[in-house]
Amino acid sequence: MDRVNENLNTVNQPIYKKDAMALVTGQPVYTDDIAPSECLIVKVLRSPHAHALIHTISTEAAKKVPGIACILTYEDVPHKRFTMAGQTYPEPSPYDRYILDRRLRFVGDAVAIVAGKNEKAVDKALKKIKVTYEVLEPVLDFHKSKDNPILVHPEEDWVALCDVGADNKRNLCCQGTEGSGDLDAVMAECEYVVEGTYHTKACQQAMMETFRTYTEMDAYGRLKVTSSTQIPFHVRRILSTALDIPKSRIRVCKPRIGGGFGAKQSVVTEVFPAIVTLKTGKPAKMIYTRYESQICSSPRHEMEVTVRVGADKNGIIQAIDMYTLSNAGAYGEHAPTTITLTSCKSIPLYGKARAYRFTYEAVYTNTMGAGAYRGYGATQGIFAVESAVNELAVKMNMDPVRLREINMVQEGQVMPAYYGEICGSCALDRCMAKAREMMDWDAKYPARDMGNGKVRAVGVAMAMQGSSISNVDVASATIKLNDNGFYSLSIGASDMGTGCDTILAQMAAEELRCPVEEIAVHGVDTDISPYDSGSYASSTTYLTGRAVVKACRELKEKIDQYSREHPGLTLKEIGNECMCNNNIALEVTATNSSPVSPPPFMVGMAEVEVDTETGSVEVLDFVGVVDCGTPINPNLARVQAEGGIVQGIGMALYENIQFNGKGQMLNNSFMQYKIPSRQDIGKIRVEFESSYEPQGPFGAKSIGEIVINTSSPAIAHAIYNATGKRFHELPITPEKIVMGE
């Protein structure tokens, strides 16, 4: 792409979101708003046991409840293994699910599907289903899962399509080792070595709109699925596999999404109303309660990361050794891919390392299966590596900012552990300098005693992510000139509240030199939208954006050709003329994939006040400086950054998924599962230090995930500076601080 110039009209401008007024005025745009009123209500009876076999199940009494239309058990549904993970085919995640199974693998697993005319009837029928269980011993501790005689998936038809080291007879979703250089030899030469094990628990995405789907049969006898999803095209493939029907019989549409954060990169609700509609021919919908979203969805993977970092006498980091153990839970959605990001999105931050080694294992347990969550494994890995680097700075008696300044990756370097990619754009040094200035680091580091047992301290971390999945993800865009000279832009990427419809329209308007209002954006319908892998992996701005630019440039060439053949016409006249006696289609579809995944970078600094008597922590100030290349819409990028920082603060201090000895989740509502409100957050200040990414549209890289990754290590560092206590497990609660654990 050409280097961006200063004469931009719409790109790098704070354009209002296209759907802003519809959202703030409460227009019916979400799934449940537009679902037909006659939809059957679909709910699922859930297992009370972490591990059990259904011995008998009786639905006769439940079927007699007035208004009940359909009750399904494992005997009534197709028996084809599939994965709910929304990933490009062939999926790295194992095919380890049935729609309903006789074996139940966690508390909350699906036992039966009930559909009825109203919620009251369905709730009554659920209570009348009689089930006897053969209760089995569960494996709940992910440290004890590998090679445990208790198998979560003993079935013979379990299958992994990709070679990721998976073995269901060992409770393994994946395993492997990779590296470069003679790690042990280089580490032995290091003057300073630190080692630590860091534990991050599962976290719920807690988006405002819970999981929800409605389904119906269209006039052509096809299954139409309308769902709050980030992955419409993957939903079509997954449903085809699970329901054992051709893809040609399925159409998936995405309305507005009330937040996803990765949770909706898995097929959580879609399969249940879909099978009901196929069985009954009637429209059906499933709306998850917050309780269901907490106990049976797709949270972040619990991980334990052991890191060893070695540096020479000058503080240059020479070697990094990582071992990651991930808790896949009962099913393997996203387990093989999230775990690899713990290394490839943390180790490359330190571009001078001569050797690295990464060993990993993801294991099954009888707890709720995990999935994708903003940061996608990088968050867990960066917490570990950045915490270890902060410990290294203490051991060397060096300012942790200075330690990073002499080690951080720079443009032109081959990034270790990053697929051999060269860092083509990087303003990480300027991000660090800007954050240092904004936080007044030199005056505040490490801590200040405020009296009355309160101490203020600062902490630092840096992070990277990626921009799409290189050599895998595909994005497409269709642009056409309409009569009267306005344009229609069709995309396959899912706007989940982030504003991708708006920024893609900004790029189209910039290329076509027209106002953004002249670009009508059409969301995803798998029947008519161009293919897109989906809105995940920080791909939309970078990958779909370039597809939009490609399409617009080709369309301009066609318009120029038409203008040469029909001189003197205005664009409006061309739009009208081409609708009559015309042989040139003024419509273009362009597709884009990328051989590289240029990382965005970020520096985060936290200032906290710790009450050493009670252990309470108040985040007074958080500074985030981001290099996302060229920000396409600075206002939307800033909101992305602020939201990600807050989610990271929640992970660091509040969010704590816990299970009792029977595998029951204790944090099944927002009364028990605490996420930060605005009152819990002090100042958040975000700035951008833009690099120019030559592979991105107008020099842009991604922004969506990078922004969650610095909060937890920076806050943990600040708490150490305030208390002198190291905390290797999140969240860091007042009890832990007081007890010193």
Give catalytic residues, as residue numbers: 705
3-state SS assignment for residue 593: coil
For residue 587, how far is the Cα from the chain centroid?
Answer: 33
Q: Is 248 exposed, middle or buried (0-12, 13-18, 19+ CB in 10 A)?
A: exposed
Q: What is the CA radius of gyration of the chain?
A: 26
Cα separation, 233 vs 212, whole angstroms: 17
If phi > 0 it is left, if psi is from -120 to 50 it is alpha, else beta; for residue 545 that is alpha
> Which residue is it, tokens 């979560």?
152
Cα separation, 367 vs 381, whole angstroms: 22
Q: What is the DSSP string of 494-541?
A: --SSS-HHHHHHHHHHHHHTS-GGGEEEE--BTTTSPP---S-TT-II
Q: What is the DSSP string of 176-216?
A: EEEEES-HHHHHHH-SEEEEEEEEE-------SS--EEEEE
C-alpha dist (Å) from residue 47 to 2, 217, 286: 57, 30, 18
Q: Return the structure tokens found at 94.
A: 């194992």
Rounded to 5°, angle at Cα 456 from 455 and 457: 120
3-state SS assignment for residue 645: helix
- Asked whether the beta carbons of 479 and 489 are under 8 A apart, the reply is yes
Cα separation, 597 vs 539, whole angstroms: 9
Cα separation, 160 vs 173, whole angstroms: 9
Task: Provide the CB-side half-sphere exposure for 488 (13 A, CA).
Answer: 16
Q: Which amino acid is at 626?
A: V
Q: Which amino acid is at 534?
A: G
- Asked whether the beta carbons of 535 and 230 are under 8 A apart, the reply is yes
Cα separation, 38 vs 281, whole angstroms: 12
Residue 348: name the closest of 392, 411, 256, 393 by CA.
411
Cα separation, 363 vs 108, whole angstroms: 19
> In 559-714, at which residue ranges do the beta strands (DSSP E only) sit?
587-592, 601-611, 617-627, 681-688
**196: β partners:** 307
Q: What is the DSSP string of 82-108?
A: B--B--SSSPSS-B-B-SS-SEE-STT
> Which residue is it, tokens 């009508």?
520
3-state SS assignment for residue 3: coil
Cα separation, 566 vs 585, whole angstroms: 15
C-alpha dist (Å) from residue 449 to 390, 458, 466, 502, 723: 21, 12, 39, 47, 11
Give yes or no for a cis peptide into 697 (omega within 30° of 0). no
- Asked whether the beta carbons of 308 and 77 are under 8 A apart, the reply is no
